Structure 1
Amino acid sequence: MVNRALTVVENSLAAAAFMVVTAVALMNVISRYFLNASLAFTSEITVNLAVWMTMIGAAIAVRERAHLGFSLLHDRARGRLRVAVTIAIAVVVVLFLLVIAVYGWEQVVSQRESGRATPSMGIPQWWFSLALPVGAVLAIVRAVQVAVATIRAPDEDGHVVGIEGGPVL
């Protein structure tokens, strides 16, 4: 149930950001064509929402196991070695995402305390920077879920290899 709700949140955030970027870019194209004038705020919104789309998209990619990666060692490993490689990969990914979350949160706090706003529209910049810690936390949750699911996945014989290295089923 939590997994499904998280999926809805991720997909909704990504779709909403993409929809706004598309609408704003279309407005700018129409404005340039008919009014011969560019709307300055459109690039501001587009660039800042791209950060949201990237971070939420990264979490979705981890969930869907669609992120780029070198998987030769993991794919060839069996039994305990596969479990160890899966755990090692998950630990490295989670540590990387924790760095993004921590530094992203520090950036949000700094921008909020300084009152920094976007140049054209005056929107608080931290609203956009919040994508870093939010996206990183979502991706951490998904990385742990994928690691657990991979460890519990059956091998060629239909057995699930547990931490002990023996068949669980």
Structure 2
Amino acid sequence: MTSPLSPGENSGATPPSEAESKTRVPLKIEDWLTVLIMAALALITFANVLVRYFTNASFAWTEEVSIFLMIALSMVAGSAAVARNRHIRIEYFADSGPISRQRALAKFGAAMVALLFALIAALSVRMVWDDIQYGETSPGIGVPQWWYSIWLPIISVAITLRAIGLMRRKGVAASDDPALPTSPEVRAEEHAP
């Protein structure tokens, strides 16, 4: 088995997948947002533990902010997963059979993800508008609720655009992506005379 790295490259680094190398908007955006959100979660939780330990009280705002950050983290990570074509799927169906079928299923999956998150974005805009119009405040610390809810349509649009980008790249079949393992049937088909 040959190494995907050329001589002289760092053996600890992994080559970018085909999906990652063809995106117009760099995936570093989602990667850095994930790092920043995780760091904020860790700091907030650590600060709350210290305050509880030394004062027998806790910051009231930490739970509310942590819940928001966990939701934002899952959506940002979902955007990266869609762009890299690594979202959840049943590999038996998605990674087996001829390449044309794999591509068709990848395109169909990307289209369904785009449709779902476009609907979520459209419907959540109404929710944000209601939060602003009626002056809803958060239950824990009383800040305007739209400070949290505004991110749902924004990140949903980002996921929709990532899914459309994946679909425009004609769907990356799992066997086309060197970073992903392929099924035995595809490997046998690739090595057939």
TM-score clears 0.5? yes
* Larger displacement relative to structure 2 (84-93 or 22-31): 84-93
- 1:16-50: CA deviation from partner (whole Å, max 9, x where unpaired): 22222211111110011000111111111111121
Specify whether residues 61 and 86 from structure 1 end up closer, same or farther in structure 2 by C-alpha distance, changes over 3 A only. Answer: closer
Q: In the alignment, which of 106, 111, 123 is matched to residue 91 of structure 1?
A: 111
Specify whether residues 124 and 102 from structure 1 end up closer, same or farther in structure 2 by C-alpha distance, changes over 3 A only. Answer: same
Q: 1:3 is matched with which residue?
A: 25
* Matched positions, count: 156
Q: 1:13 is matched with which residue?
A: 33
The structure where helix makes up a greater share of residues is 1
SS of 2:142's equivalent in the other structure is: coil
* Cα offset, 1:150, TM superposition: 5.0
Greater relative CO (CA pairs within 8 A, separation 6+): 2
- Report if the CA contact (8 A) 1:21-1:49 is conserved: yes
TM-score using structure 1 length: 0.77
Instruction: Determine whether 1:48 maps to 2:68.
Output: yes
Q: 2:48 is matched with which residue?
A: 28
Q: In the alignment, which of 33, 58, 65 is matched to residue 78 of structure 2?
A: 58
Where structure 1 has 5 or more consecutive residues not aligned to the other structure, the ranges are: 158-169
SS of 1:76's equivalent in the other structure is: coil
Q: In the alignment, which of 143, 160, 164 is matched to residue 140 of structure 1?
A: 160
* Larger displacement relative to structure 2 (120-129 or 73-82): 73-82
- 1:115-155: CA deviation from partner (whole Å, max 9, x where unpaired): 21223333222121123212222212222223333547669
Specify whether residues 127 and 145 from structure 1 end up closer, same or farther in structure 2 by C-alpha distance, changes over 3 A only. Answer: same
- 1:35-77: CA deviation from partner (whole Å, max 9, x where unpaired): 0111111111111121111111111121233322113223224
Aligned equivalents of 2:84 and 2:140: distance in 1?
A: 37
TM-score using structure 2 length: 0.69
SS of 1:3's equivalent in the other structure is: coil
CA RMSD in angstroms, aligned pairs only: 2.6
Aligned equivalents of 1:47 and 1:152: distance in 2?
A: 34
- Report if the CA contact (8 A) 1:31-1:38 is conserved: yes
Instruction: Determine whether 1:114 maps to 2:134.
Output: yes
Instruction: Determine whether 1:128 maps to 2:148.
Output: yes
